[in-house]
Homo-oligomer: A and B are copies of this chain.
Amino acid sequence: MKPASAIVIGTGLIGTSVALALRDRGVAVWLADADPAAAKLAVDIGAGQLLPDAGPEAGPADVAVLAVPPPAVAAELHGAQRRGLARCYTDVASVKQQPVAGARELGCDLTSYVPGHPLSGRERSGPAAARADLFLGRPWVICPLPENDDQAISLVESVPEACGAQVVAASPAEHDQWVALVSHAPHLVAVAMAARLTVAPPSALALAGQGLRDVTRIAAGDTGMWSQILSANAGPVSSVLRDVAAELTQAAGILDGLAGAAGPGDERTRTELAALLERGGAGVHRIPGKRGGPAPEFATVQVVIPDKPGELARLFLAAGEAGINIEDIGIEHSPGLPVGVAELWVRPEAVGPLTGVLAAAGWPVRR
């Protein structure tokens, strides 16, 4: 199912990507943005036509998507409903309780407003980064309200369906707790670790490996956007952060025990440390993998590659010709030297064939 017509208000990355995806499915799309240049750019890349001040000439659209920052959703909804722009309304904000509370306060019509949140996984912004395929196969949370009429829910759900996303139903409170755990709190955990590096001696930082880079990477994200997201979901995020801080304090206590003791009691402290490490591993393995289910146990093959154009092409060509699908790739850096190690992730049954093919093609390869 898909809407026949849609209005997208806010032509940033998400709004423009929704518009592009709907246009790809033949939906008539009107665009608006507080910044005329952003709306113009979205029109120019084929995301739709400019929304006239009086609304679409043919009357209200099937659905209006409010792709504005969390604190702006309620006012935008109120204005759009007063103008009668659409038969139903949704938003794409990454928190859900704040816009719903705001809409209630402003006296918006809650029969036609069905909140939503596409999990795009992108960390870019602006219409120029937009892609019609941004939501393909990704979850898109829809939070039906008690006041919603069924028709509005169906119409709003047709937006993620048309975008190729997977609809996940949740209450606004559930949604906010879930994203606090899997997205907002991890962001601040990376920030807290990275913040310690601001006072580190350069000699210490020179010893950094891929592990530190991975743990802290997302802390380099857009601070303005994150400040807004975290403020809007402050309660649930705070709760997770206190849990993580408690885990770390407990870990520090275990280590203090080990630093002092060498006698009895030592063994029990070691067991506590091992149990914490095991829980960490178990947590990682619960994160779903590429195919949506539990991460399959991919195997890796390592290949040494000179750091020059064409080498990875040669490697992938050899694999592709042998009909082997490389599921993922990591490149290990060798600071200061023109050589790297590519780690290729494949299904376990492909390890033998891939190793053979690469060795035959002259690659220094190890399983």
Contacts and interface: CB of A to CB of B under 8 A. Distances in A.
Interface of A: 119, 121, 123, 128-129, 131, 133, 136-139, 141, 164, 166, 168, 170, 174, 177-179, 181-183, 185-198, 200-221, 223-224, 226-227, 230-231, 234-235, 237-249, 251-253, 255-256, 258-259, 270, 273-274, 276-292, 302, 304, 307-326, 328-329, 331-337, 339, 341, 364, 366-367
A247 to B, nearest CB: 4
For A183, A248, A274, A320, the residue with the greatest tally of chain B CB atoms inside 10 Å of its CB is A248
For A174, A211, A217, the residue with the greatest tally of chain B CB atoms inside 10 Å of its CB is A211
B282 A198 contact: yes
A234 B207 contact: no
Contacts of A286: 197-198, 200, 202, 205
Given A252-B238, A366-B131, A219 B284 contact: yes
B121 A280 contact: no
Interface of chain A, main secondary structure: helix
B283 A255 contact: no
B131 A216 contact: no
B179 A227 contact: no
A211 B194 contact: no
A254 to B, nearest CB: 8
B209 A183 contact: yes
B210 A270 contact: no
A56 to B, nearest CB: 29
Nearest to A332: B121
In order of increasing CB-CB distance, the 3 nearest A-B pairs are A310-B320, A191-B280, A313-B316
User: This chain: how many copies in the complex?
Assistant: 2
A256 B319 CA distance: 52
A189 B215 contact: yes
6 contacts: A131-B341, A131-B366, A196-B240, A217-B284, A292-B335, A309-B324
A276 to B, nearest CB: 6
Contacts of A189: 189, 192-193, 215, 248
Nearest to A249: B245
B190 A177 contact: no
A279 B191 contact: yes
A277 B313 contact: no
A253 B242 CA distance: 9
A289 B189 CA distance: 22
A234 B93 CA distance: 43
Contacts of A205: 182, 286-288
A283 B216 contact: yes
A2 to B, nearest CB: 18
A187 B321 CA distance: 39
Contacts of A280: 190-192, 194-195, 216, 219-220
A320 B311 contact: yes
Contacts of A290: 333, 335
Contacts of A182: 197, 200, 204-205, 207-209, 212
A168 to B, nearest CB: 7
Contact of A193 (B133, B186, B207): B186
A323 B309 contact: yes
A322 B309 CA distance: 8
Given A244-B248, A319-B313, A331 B329 contact: yes
Given A136-B337, A241-B251, A178 B192 contact: no
A231 B258 contact: yes
